[in-house]
Amino acid sequence: MPKQKKWILSPEPKLDNIDALSHSININPILSKILINRGIKNYSEAKSYFRPSIEDCHDPFLMRDMSTAVVRLIQSIENEEPILVYGDYDVDGSTSVAMMYSFLKNYCQNLYYYIPDRYLEGYGISKQGIDYAEEKNCKLIISLDCGIKAIDQVDYANSKNIDFIICDHHNPGEKLPAAVAILDPKRKDCSYPYKELSGCGVGFKLIQAFCIQKEIPEHHAFELLDLVAISIAADIVAVTGENRTLAFYGLEKINFNPRPGIKALLQASGLKDKITISNLVFQLGPRINAAGRIDHAHLAVRLLTAIHEDEALIIAENVSNKNTTRKDFDQNITSEALKTIEENSEMLTAKSTVLFNKNWHKGVIGIVASRCIEHHYRPTIIMTESNGKATGSARSVDGFDLYSAIESCKEHLDQFGGHKHAAGLTLSIDQISNFSAAFEKIVQKNITEEQLIPKVLIDSYIEIDQITDKFYSILSQMDPFGPGNMQPVFAAKHLTILGDPLILKEKHLKLTVKDKKGKNKITAIGFGMAEYKSLIMNSNAFELAFTIQENHFNGTKSLQLYLKDIRIE
């Protein structure tokens, strides 16, 4: 029997407000209701939402330390100092390095980039990276998507007369590194209006400020928004406010004028239709990430900075092959992890999952943590051995502050970082048992039973006959979707099945449903929902929760429901 999810229906706005918005922008009341619940109440707000303007971006000089950062960067360029661009090995870090390197090579003769080895150096600023900067005679390091907690490492760089400009978006600790400039909107003393930029987004603001200061046309900065869009999607940051504007124009570039590396990646992914945030999250992002997970993220930067299409195609094929290897690791380790949980009675009744296996591949443990949550919905940490230590990736469930829970167990840890939803940590192998017990105790104390039930947030109920091409046309213009502006989820009731459901690849469910009138029908697909087949075949009527998407098959387009859940009436 499939695990029951809790359906939460969005509040119903006042009817007068729905009618007013529907008339002012000429859309279906269901769509007006969704917009109002997302804070869009009038024509002006709807215009900004559907047609974001690049002018909506904030002045980069509102960010703390921005003026100092720009002055130091200009000084370095004018003095012809070698500069090192340093970034993390995930998608946000790789796109950040590719963006900054692509831009600065137009102004800096001696430019290098460095990404730490996931397995030999681990996350963040490493002394090896600083030594590399010294070897290249660099006097300035620009770190992207990392550095906010690198106190010792920045001190080490300072001892070698190497300055740091830190561009990060993670939560700072109580003490900040002694860098020349620290750009991070999450600093308590930073009044920048938008706090949810990706690491690449913070780097972009530095580039934008540099253009303003040097009176360089800003379109030189905006040409880089394709990379910012990928970082926003892959790092699962909010797609609201400034991020939504950056993602909107980044997607526009990807769709109409992609750089050679992205064009090659699209080709390798088999993507031909209009690219959306979802494509970046599920097709492009994992391929870029696979370079650093399976081998080294330098490969991803080489791809994203490639100038010639032939070179880009070769690298894209290599990256895609590594993604295939990553998938194999992912599936095998997930199976092992789930088997471990299911064979341990204490783990089955726990409020958290903490697993360690020294043979698991470090590059996929974050993915495995997410997969485990799909089966056992609770805060999860998956660990393996690396450089004689236990290293782990943690993922949370909706509403539970994972970072705070890990911070409460910090006496057992060597290092940790992250945010509410995801984190990384390192500890001595002999501390695993103590940490696991402490983490479980903290979770038990703070998590609610409500947070342990997976939820489906429903934007609105809808009738099958209301799902028309016109309705979908407006719905699709609400893209880019993501946290804070998720793809609308609908529900329909009093449905019955037409014909027999199909099971695809032994795990996916495909069916045709009809409404109670019997006149309207539509196909639906539920990925990983094969176990629901007997449930719906033995029911008189059921409700579906779903998103609406356009299906392309053999040159024909049709609307299709992508199922989130099924419940019997």
pLDDT digits (tens, 9 = 90+) for 31-57: 999 999 999 999 999 999 999 999 989
> CB within 8 A of 302, min separation 6: which ones?
315
d(CA 192, CA 185): 6
Residue 1 pLDDT:
58
With H, G, I as helix, E, B as strand and everything else as coil, classify residue 550: strand
Evaluated on CA atoms 25, 56, 93, 172, the torsion sign reads: negative
Scan for tokens 């992609």, then name that residue: 258
Task: Give φ, ψ of 496 to 5 degrees.
Answer: -130, 165
Q: C-alpha angle with apex 273: 487 to 463, nearest 5 degrees?
A: 40
Q: How confident is the model at residue 506 (pLDDT cuts 50, 70, 90)?
A: confident
Burial (0-12, 13-18, 19+ Cβ within 10 Å), 419 = middle
CB contact at 8 A, 60 and 205: yes
Burial (0-12, 13-18, 19+ Cβ within 10 Å), 357 = middle
The answer on pLDDT for 118 being more than 80 is no
Q: How confident is the model at residue 317 (pLDDT cuts 50, 70, 90)?
A: very high
DSSP letter for 428, please: -
β partners of residue 403? none
CB contact at 8 A, 141 and 133: yes
Which has the higher per-residue pLDDT, 138 or 119?
Answer: 138
Q: Evaluate if pTM is beyond 0.75.
A: yes
Q: How confident is the model at residue 456 (pLDDT cuts 50, 70, 90)?
A: very high
With H, G, I as helix, E, B as strand and everything else as coil, classify residue 63: coil
Tokens linked to 93:
């870090």
Residue 295 pLDDT:
76
The answer on pLDDT for 209 being more than 70 is yes
Which range (75-79, 469-473, 551-555) has the least confidence?
A: 551-555
Which has the higher per-residue pLDDT, 181 or 287?
Answer: 181
Domains in the chain, CATH or no CATH each: 6-10+455-568 (2.40.50.460), 60-216 (3.90.1640.30), 344-452 (3.10.310.30)
Query: Average of pLDDT values for 492-518?
Result: 91
d(CA 351, CA 379): 7
d(CA 386, CA 389): 5
CB atoms within 10 A of CB 431: 17
Q: Are strands 422-427 and 455-458 parallel, antiparallel or unpaired?
A: unpaired
> CB within 8 A of 51, min separation 6: which ones?
none
CB contact at 8 A, 551 and 273: no
Q: C-alpha angle with apex 261: 255 to 266, nearest 5 degrees?
A: 50
Mean pLDDT of the chain, nearest integer: 93
Q: What are 258-267's pLDDT values in tens digits? A: 999 999 999 9
Residue 355 pLDDT:
96
CB contact at 8 A, 383 and 353: no
Q: How confident is the model at residue 429 (pLDDT cuts 50, 70, 90)?
A: very high
Query: Average of pLDDT values for 356-361?
Result: 93
d(CA 64, CA 192): 7
Q: What are 373-411's pLDDT values in tens digits? A: 999 999 999 999 988 999 999 999 999 999 999 999 999
The answer on pLDDT for 421 being more than 90 is no
The answer on pLDDT for 334 being more than 80 is yes
Residue 330 pLDDT:
85
Which range (405-409, 469-473, 554-558) has the least confidence?
A: 554-558
Tokens linked to 414:
């060597």
For the stretch 277-283, contacts whose Cβ atoms lie closer than 8 Å and that sit 24 or more positions apart, written own/partner, are 277/229, 277/232, 277/233, 277/239, 277/247, 277/251, 277/479, 277/480, 277/481, 277/482, 278/481, 278/487, 280/229, 280/230, 280/233, 280/234, 280/254, 281/233, 281/234, 281/236
d(CA 42, CA 25): 8
The answer on pLDDT for 134 being more than 90 is yes
Tokens linked to 34:
């969704």
| Distances in whole angstroms, Cα of residue 541 to Cα of each of 316, 522, 569 | 47, 15, 6
Residue 28 pLDDT:
92
Query: Average of pLDDT values for 328-336?
Result: 91
Q: What are 520-533's pLDDT values in tens digits? A: 899 999 998 999 99
Tokens linked to 334:
């997930």
Residue 327 pLDDT:
84
The answer on pLDDT for 420 being more than 90 is no
